[in-house]
Amino acid sequence: MRRIRYGQLCPIAKAAEVLGERWTILIIRELLVGNYRYSGLQRALSRLSPTLLTRRLKQLQDCGLVIRQPAAAGTRAEYRLSPAGRDLERAVFALGEWGMRWARGQMRPDEIDVQMLMVDFSRRLDAARLPAGRTVLEFDLPSLRKFRRWWIVVEANGTRELCSNYPGHATQLTLRLDPRTLGEIWSGDTTIPSALKDGRLSVAGDPGLVRSLSAWLRPGALAHIRPASSQRKRP
| pLDDT, tens only, 80-131 | 999 999 999 999 999 999 999 998 766 677 889 999 999 999 999 999 999 9
Banded model confidence at residue 1, pLDDT cuts 50, 70, 90: low
**Distance between CA atoms of residues 62 and 68, nearest Å:** 11
Q: Measure Cα distances from 24 to 13, 207, 211, 220 in Å.
A: 16, 43, 40, 20
DSSP category for residue 109: G
Percent of the chain surpassing pLDDT 70? 94
pTM: 0.89
**Distance between CA atoms of residues 38 and 217, nearest Å:** 26
| 99: CB partners within 8 A, 6+ apart | none
Domains in the chain (CATH in brackets) are: 11-87 (1.10.10.10), 112-216 (3.30.1050.10)
AA identity, residue 224: H
Task: Give the model confidence (pLDDT) of 24-74 as tens digits.
Answer: 999 999 999 999 999 999 999 999 999 999 999 999 999 999 999 987 766
Residue 190 has pLDDT above 90, yes or no: yes
